[in-house]
Amino acid sequence: MVLAVDVNYSERNAKAVGVVFDWTDVKASDVIIVHLTDVEEYIPGEFYKRELPCILKVISKVKIEDIQAIVVDGYVYLDNDKKYGLGAYLWEALEKSIPVIGVAKKTYHENEKNVFALTRGESKNPLYISAIGIELEHAVELVRHMQGNHRIPTILKDLDKLSMEH
């Protein structure tokens, strides 16, 4: 099973959502929603300090031994020198036991060595895939073959919508 996570914020509150699925699924087999209060403020360049505790709350609600990989909305590495991003900090927090795949919608300055620009469907705009604990090429193929004919795989699009609902 795979766990994909996303977090949405309003002021100092957050809604963290996780969906559990297999790579070939059209719909998630389980949805986890956690509401948090008093989350860290956003600090440019240190986004993980705000997002990571929220994601760990979602992870605490799943049977972690069944999870083969975690997909985050964002990056594993922030630059060509492998400066840690959210995905790498999550991997460290999980004691390097579960591969983490970053799926970002926007490119990040000076980050082409550790990221693959994946174009899906008819879209001209790629998704930016990064990974840790798994070969980048394998992570790209897993995301490439996820269900959905559009740029963003159906399950990840559904996750995004769920995180934004009030």
Interval 15-31: pLDDT, tens: 999 999 999 999 999 99
Interval 59-70: pLDDT, tens: 999 999 999 999
Would you state the torsion angle of the CA atoms of residues 95, 146, 136, 124, taken in this order, to the nearest 10 degrees? -130
Closest among 32, 75, 31, 76 to 54, alpha carbons compared:
32
Q: Which helix (H) or strand (E) holds 48?
A: helix 48-59
The residue ranges of every structural domain in the chain are 2-164
Q: With 90 as the cut, is the pLDDT of residue 43 above it?
A: no
41: burial class by Cβ within 10 Å (0-12, 13-18, 19+)?
exposed
- Counting every residue, how long is the chain? 166
Coil/strand/helix, residue 5: strand
Query: CATH: 3.30.390.50, 3.30.2170.10, 3.90.190.20, 3.50.30.50. Which one for 2-164?
Result: 3.30.2170.10
How many whole angstroms separate alpha carbon 102 and alpha carbon 76? 5
Looking at residue 44, its pLDDT comes to 78
Q: With 80 as the cut, is the pLDDT of residue 166 above it?
A: no
Interval 97-155: pLDDT, tens: 999 999 999 987 788 899 999 999 888 999 999 999 999 999 999 999 999 999 999 99
Q: Which residue has the tokens 């008093």?
A: 38
